[in-house]
Amino acid sequence: MQKTLLLILCLSSLVNCKKTNSDISNNLKISKVDSLEFEEYNSDSEVVYEIKGENIFLRDGPGKNYKKLVNIKATDILGETHYMQVDYTCTVSIDEEKNGWAKISVLDPSHLSATHHGWIPLKSIIKDTSQIPAVNLAKLNYDIISITENNISKNYNIYLNINNLSKDEISSFIKQFREKNCSTCTISIFDTKSIKDLMEVYPLSKSEYLNFADHFVAWSTFDAPKMVSFYPFQDSKYREYGGKNFKEQKID
């Protein structure tokens, strides 16, 4: 099961800071970017910003009417069109601001810094701490289902009542839980305790896989603590097994 999750994240890293996402709209305008020249900057004086939200497409101009930038490498490897995106796991610099949009350059993860430059809504950039979603652990309904440990890390399987929680708030919960309970650990979030018996089952049958995938809300590994993958088992195998209850887009 862990091998499957690691493969998902490896493929996801090709697309943006965290995850894959393709747009199959027939009316979508496409702008391919193989190589771009940008002015050199002084990293010592550069201001670093974090991103609020996810699935934020980079465009070739300041507005939604401008074309989305194609991720050439991911498109070539995965065999379908993928677009450059940023999310809350990225840090960026701002090169220019115009009409409520910002031209940004990705700083971290570093493997995207050479290619991921484009325009995103200015509201997606965190310029002060008041924009960071905060959650109070004491007021949330959560429970540790189980704790396992191997030679690499400690693993927490956690039930969390996700009703009325956004992706940013779930990510904030994971961050605060990790700060309070473990410096190096992998955290898995589930929306029910009923799948506890499936956690150590491998391989999962089709029905077990679908059930597990529908309740496996989020996953953050010890070696990429800023990265949160939502519904990681609702993947190609989920489709192959007949899964239809895709939940990620239902979370704000």
What does 116-183 look like in DSSP terms, one character per residue? -EEEEEGGGEE-SGGGS----GGGS-EEEEEEEE-SS-EEEEEEE--TT--HHHHHHHHHHHHHHH-S
What distances in angstroms separate CA 65 from CA 23, 31, 59, 134, 219, one per listed residue?
Answer: 15, 12, 9, 33, 34
**pLDDT at site 56:** 94
Region 128-145: mean pLDDT is 82
**pLDDT at site 13:** 57
**pLDDT at site 251:** 78
Mean pLDDT (the chain) is: 84
Two tokens, residue 179: 């700060």
Q: Is the pTM of this model over 0.85?
A: no
CATH topology classification for 30-131: SH3 type barrels. (2.30.30)
**pLDDT at site 228:** 87
**pLDDT at site 14:** 59
Two tokens, residue 208: 């077990």
Q: Which range (29-43, 177-191, 192-206) has the least confidence?
A: 29-43
The structural domains of the chain, with segments of one domain joined by +, span 30-131, 133-245
Region 14-27: mean pLDDT is 44
Tens digit of pLDDT for each residue in 43-59? 455 799 988 877 899 99
**pLDDT at site 35:** 37
Q: How confident is the model at residue 114 (pLDDT cuts 50, 70, 90)?
A: very high
Residue 46 is given by DSSP the state P
